[in-house]
Structure 1
Amino acid sequence: MIRSVPRRWLVLDIVGSVFGFLVTAPLAFIMGAGSLSAWLTPDWLAIAVSVVVSAALWGAAAISRLTPAIALAISWGACLLQMLTGLPPMASNVAVFVVLFATAAWGSRRLLWTGGASAVAGGVVAGLYIGVQQFGMTGSLLSEGVRVLLVAALMGSVAGLSLALSWGAGLLWRQVVRGREIRDAQLRAEATAAEEAERVRIARDMHDVVAHSLAVVIAQADGARYAAASDPKVAQEALGTIAQTARGALSDVRMLLTQLRHRQGDGPQPTLADLETLFAQVRRAGVEPRVTVDPTPPGEPPAAIQLAVYRILQEALTNALRHGTGGVDVRLSWWADAVDVTVSNAVSGDDRPSIGGHGVIGMRERAQLVGGTLQAGRDGDQFTVSARLPVGPSSSSGTGLSS
Structure 2
Amino acid sequence: MGGMPDTAAARTPFHVRVSRFLEGRPWIADTGLLAGPLGLFSVGSAANDGFRPLFIGGFEPAGWPLVLMLGLLTTLPLALRRMRPAPCAGLIAVGALLQVLTLVGPGMSSISVPIAVYSAAKFGSRRSARIYLIIALAGALLLGLYFLSGYLLTSPRGINLLEILLPVFMITGFAAAVVLACWLLGDLGGRRRREIAAIAERNELLEVEREQEARLAADAERMRIAREMHDVVSHSMSVMIAQADGGRYVAGQDPQAAAGAFETIGRTGREALTEMRRMLGVLRDQAEGVDYAPTPGLADLRRLVADVRAAGLPVTLRSSWGTAADARLDQAPSLPEGAGLAVHRIVQEALTNTLKHGGGGAQADVALAVDTPEGDRPGGAASPGDQLVVRISDTGVGSGADGDGRGSGLLGMDERARLYGGEVTTRAHSGGFDVVLRLPLTVSR
1:229-244 → structure 2 map (5 Å cutoff): 229-244=252-267
Letter in 1 for 2:93: C
SS in 1 for 2:25: helix
How many residues align structurally? Answer: 369
Contact preservation (8 Å) 1:127, 1:156: yes
Letter in 2 for 1:282: V
1:131-150 → structure 2 map (5 Å cutoff): 131-133=141-143, 136-138=147-149, 139=152, 143=165, 150=173
Q: How far, CA to CA, are the matches of 1:324 and 1:226 in structure 2? A: 20
Taking a change above 3 Å as real, the CA distance of residues 218 and 12 of structure 1, as seen in their structure-2 partners, is farther
Q: Over residues 114-146 of structure 1, what are the superposed CA-to-partner deviations in whole Å (9 max), with x where a residue is unaligned?
A: x21221221222123234336623235994776
Letter in 2 for 1:392: T
Q: Which has the higher contact order (CA 8 A, sep 6+)?
A: 1
SS in 2 for 1:261: coil
1:332-347 → structure 2 map (5 Å cutoff): 332-334=368-370, 335=380, 336=382, 337-345=386-394, 346-347=396-397
2:363 maps to 1:363 = no
For 1:124, the equivalent position in structure 2 comes to 134
Letter in 2 for 1:343: I
Taking a change above 3 Å as real, the CA distance of residues 384 and 36 of structure 1, as seen in their structure-2 partners, is farther
Shift of 1:84: 2.2
Q: TM-score, normalised by structure 2?
A: 0.71
1:4-403 → structure 2 map (5 Å cutoff): 12=22, 15-24=25-34, 25-30=36-41, 32-33=44-45, 38=53, 41-43=62-64, 45-59=66-80, 61=82, 63-64=83-84, 72-86=86-100, 87=106, 88-91=109-112, 94=115, 97-98=118-119, 100-103=121-124, 115-133=125-143, 136-138=147-149, 139=152, 143=165, 150-151=173-174, 153-262=176-285, 267-296=293-322, 298=331, 301-304=334-337, 305-325=339-359, 326-334=362-370, 335=380, 336=382, 337-345=386-394, 346-347=396-397, 349-351=400-402, 354-355=405-406, 357-394=407-444
SS in 1 for 2:148: coil
Shift of 1:250: 0.6
Q: How far, CA to CA, are the matches of 1:320 and 1:206 in structure 2? A: 19
Shift of 1:215: 1.3
Q: Over residues 21-57 of structure 1, what are the superposed CA-to-partner deviations in whole Å (9 max), with x where a residue is unaligned?
A: 1222223434645876849933465345434544333
Letter in 2 for 1:199: R
Q: How far, CA to CA, are the matches of 1:159 and 1:311 in structure 2? A: 72
Contact preservation (8 Å) 1:131, 1:151: no
Q: How far, CA to CA, are the matches of 1:217 and 1:291 in structure 2? A: 22
SS in 2 for 1:279: helix
Taking a change above 3 Å as real, the CA distance of residues 12 and 386 of structure 1, as seen in their structure-2 partners, is farther
For 1:67, the equivalent position in structure 2 comes to none
Shift of 1:165: 2.7
Q: Over residues 41-75 of structure 1, what are the superposed CA-to-partner deviations in whole Å (9 max), with x where a residue is unaligned?
A: 334653454345443331353x45xxxxxx63354
Taking a change above 3 Å as real, the CA distance of residues 73 and 322 of structure 1, as seen in their structure-2 partners, is farther
SS in 1 for 2:313: coil
Taking a change above 3 Å as real, the CA distance of residues 149 and 52 of structure 1, as seen in their structure-2 partners, is closer
Letter in 2 for 1:120: R
Letter in 2 for 1:358: S
Contact preservation (8 Å) 1:125, 1:156: no
Q: Which segment drifts farther, 182-191 or 91-100?
A: 91-100
Letter in 2 for 1:329: D
Q: Which segment drifts farther, 138-147 or 282-291?
A: 138-147
Shift of 1:368: 2.7
Contact preservation (8 Å) 1:124, 1:157: no
Q: Which segment drifts farther, 164-173 or 190-199?
A: 164-173
Contact preservation (8 Å) 2:357, 2:401: no
SS in 2 for 1:329: strand
SS in 2 for 1:187: helix
SS in 2 for 1:392: coil
Shift of 1:286: 1.3
Q: Which segment drifts farther, 94-103 or 124-133?
A: 94-103
Q: Over residues 173-204 of structure 1, what are the superposed CA-to-partner deviations in whole Å (9 max), with x where a residue is unaligned?
A: 34223322332233233223322221222112
For 1:110, the equivalent position in structure 2 comes to none
Contact preservation (8 Å) 1:119, 1:163: no
Shift of 1:342: 0.6
Shift of 1:366: 2.6
Shift of 1:353: 7.2
Unaligned ranges ≥5, structure 2: 1-17, 54-59, 101-105, 153-160, 323-328, 371-379
CA RMSD, 1 decimal: 3.5
Q: Over residues 253-290 of structure 1, what are the superposed CA-to-partner deviations in whole Å (9 max), with x where a residue is unaligned?
A: 11112222135796411133322221111112111112
Shift of 1:18: 1.5
Residue identity over aligned pairs, in percent, reads: 30
Shift of 1:247: 0.4
SS in 2 for 1:341: strand
Q: Over residues 65-95 of structure 1, what are the superposed CA-to-partner deviations in whole Å (9 max), with x where a residue is unaligned?
A: xxxxxx6335423432343234543358646
Contact preservation (8 Å) 1:36, 1:47: no
SS in 2 for 1:89: helix
Contact preservation (8 Å) 2:93, 2:113: no
Q: How far, CA to CA, are the matches of 1:388 and 1:184 in structure 2? A: 40
